[in-house]
């Protein structure tokens, strides 16, 4: 029977070392992408796909995340007093977006461990996992398509993107077989961050998963893998290799716009790409950017 998915889990316990010193006292999830913190894009995406129950797996130094999705009475009162309704609306929007829960990861044992921490909250239901470093353009469809496939196949679904073969060492990489659906592949194997030589394909997992609750038992028995961490990819490999356990693993191949905010260079690109498309910034930014680019050698 298809289950109506309502829960999203967002692992957000990472230290953000790639962005030091910006992330010394501030969570990397709060870095602004144009004028919204990266994490808000991800919560908005979950909500747009109907997932209004959000569990964030956090750690030390993450109180700014809780504050961002909470009321800030003093700020609201000041904006109201000034009659700045537009900004007040923006402030309230993130507060009212979703029902956000928080759980600390405790030991930093990897993505698989972070997802396992969601077991009690999720219970015996399929659920989504969204990684904060990836932003999917709101004009392109991904998560709702994955949820649809999860329901119809009663399987585990991951989002795949074809990447430059030189970049396989940054991703979980899948061995795939075609299905009758143009944008869906069956996954027969998965390996975490293989070298270009070892990679079975260039189909990379991007940070969106729709999982069945069986993943928790598998994660409990998954030993540390790459980097000494409990890898979600390794647990998914177990499911892919044993399709009788939980219906196997399928990939929805994403061909839309995805922005990586986990890396400094890609973060800068993401801000520029999103800003040029904005009605309030694009018209001025575009001509400036052209002139600026012409001046580069």
198 phi/psi in degrees, rounded to 5: -85, -15
Rounded Cα distance, 185 and 104, in Å: 34
Enumerate residues 6+ apart whose C-beta is below 8 A from 235: 112, 215, 218, 219, 222
Closer residue to ligand G1P (CB): 149 or 192: 192
The verdict on whether omega for the bond into residue 21 sits within 30 degrees of 0, i.e. cis, is yes
Closer residue to ligand G1P (CB): 79 or 193: 193
| Interstrand relation of 32-33 and 7-11 (parallel, antiparallel or unpaired) | unpaired
Closer residue to ligand G1P (CB): 206 or 211: 206
| Interstrand relation of 7-11 and 127-130 (parallel, antiparallel or unpaired) | parallel
With binding defined as CB under 6 A, does residue 204 bind ligand G1P?
Answer: yes
With binding defined as CB under 6 A, does residue 207 bind ligand G1P?
Answer: yes
CA-to-CA separations, 204 to 53, 171, 287, in angstroms, rounded? 27, 6, 35
Closer residue to ligand G1P (CB): 78 or 196: 196
- Interface characters, 178-197, with ligand G1P (x: CB under 6 A): --------------x-----
Segment contacting ligand G1P by CB under 6 A, of 26-34, 97-105, 205-213, 286-294: 205-213
- Interface characters, 29-68, with ligand G1P (x: CB under 6 A): ----------------------------------------
Rounded Cα distance, 235 and 218, in Å: 6
Segment contacting ligand G1P by CB under 6 A, of 57-65, 203-211, 214-222, 250-258: 203-211
Of the CA atoms within 13 Å of residue 212, those in its CB half-sphere come to: 24
Closer residue to ligand G1P (CB): 79 or 230: 230
SS3 state at 288? helix
Residue written as token pair 């239901």: 125
Compute the least distance from the CB of residue 192 to ligand G1P, in Å: 5
H/E element, 240: helix 232-241
Rounded Cα distance, 7 and 52, in Å: 7
**Running DSSP on this structure, what letter comes out for residue 28?**
G
Binding test (CB under 6 A) with ligand G1P, winner from 41, 69, 127, 171: 171
Compute the least distance from the CB of residue 247 to ligand G1P, in Å: 21
Find the binding residues for ligand G1P in span 105-134 (CB under 6 A). 111, 131, 133-134
Closer residue to ligand G1P (CB): 44 or 229: 229
Closer residue to ligand G1P (CB): 94 or 203: 203
Which residues of the chain form contacts with ligand G1P (CB under 6 A)? 111, 131, 133-134, 171-172, 192, 204-207, 231-233, 262
């Amino acid at each position: 029977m298809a289950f109506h998915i309502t829960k999203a889990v967002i692992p957000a316990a990472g230290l953000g070392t790639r962005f030091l010193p910006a992330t010394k006292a501030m969570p990397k999830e709060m870095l602004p992408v144009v004028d919204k913190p990266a994490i808000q894009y991800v919560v908005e995406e979950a909500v747009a796909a109907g997932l209004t129950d959000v569990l964030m797996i956090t750690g030390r130094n993450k109180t700014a995340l809780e504050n961002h999705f909470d009321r800030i009475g003093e700020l609201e009162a000041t904006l109201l007093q000034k009659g700045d309704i537009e900004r007040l609306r923006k402030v309230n929007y993130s507060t009212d977006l979703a029902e956000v829960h928080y759980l600390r990861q405790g030991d930093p044992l990897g993505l698989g461990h972070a997802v396992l921490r969601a077991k009690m909250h999720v219970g015996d239901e399929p659920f989504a996992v969204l990684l904060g470093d990836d932003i999917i353009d709101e004009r392109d469809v991904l998560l709702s398509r994955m949820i649809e496939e999860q329901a119809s196949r009663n399987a585990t679904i991951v989002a795949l993107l074809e990447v430059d073969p030189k970049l396989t060492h940054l991703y979980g990489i899948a061995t795939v077989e075609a299905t009758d659906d143009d944008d869906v592949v069956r996954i027969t194997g998965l390996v975490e961050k293989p070298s270009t030589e070892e990679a079975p394909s260039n189909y990379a997992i991007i940070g969106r998963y729709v999982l069945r609750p069986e993943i928790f038992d598998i994660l409990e028995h998954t030993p540390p893998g790459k980097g000494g961490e409990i890898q979600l990819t390794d647990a998914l490999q177990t499911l892919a290799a044993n399709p009788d356990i939980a219906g196997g693993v399928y990939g929805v191949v994403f061909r839309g716009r995805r922005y990586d905010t986990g890396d400094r260079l890609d973060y800068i690109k993401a801000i520029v790409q999103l800003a040029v498309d904005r009605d309030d910034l694009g018209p001025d930014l575009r001509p400036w950017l052209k002139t600026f680019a012409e001046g580069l050698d």
